[in-house]
Amino acid sequence: MTWLRVVALGFLVLVFGNPSPSPADTIPNPQLHHQATLVTTLQIMVGVDFVCQEGTTTSVFAQASQPNAGLPDTNGSGFTFDLLATGQRQTAAVLVTAFSGVWSIGDATATASVFCGGGAFGRDSGKIVIDLP
């Protein structure tokens, strides 16, 4: 009887407890652009390349941080959602709005997260350079 419980529990965990995407889902493999555009002192545009399964609704979230000598760091975030995936590599432009400090031309760090449809997820982070358009 114990063996049957173990098998039944294992089956339930396998079917209902697997948070990974189904084999048909494409892992988005996002790639953060290393160049961001200064839109205003409160907003930068960050580019993110990704690929999701064709037809899935996709959301992209980005956050950035920029050190300021002698002042608190500038931090911000932004997102875009309801993008329709093509199944090919595409680029999303995410407007990142500062919630502390102001953006300036120079070095910063950023993280981008991509959510594809019903479960595929990917993240990338790294250094970016904020520059004029």
State how far the Cα of 36 lies from the Cα of 38, in Å rounded to an integer. Answer: 7
- pTM for this prediction: 0.79
Residue type, 26: T
Q: Is residue 90 pLDDT above 80, yes or no?
A: yes
35-40 and 71-84 strand pairing: unpaired
pLDDT in tens, 51-84: 999 999 999 999 999 999 888 999 999 999 999 9
Neighbour-count burial for 84-112, b at 16+ CB within 10 Å, e otherwise: ebeeeeeebebebebeebebeeeebebbb
Q: Is residue 20 pLDDT above 60, yes or no?
A: no
Domains defined for the chain, CATH in brackets? 24-131 (2.60.40)
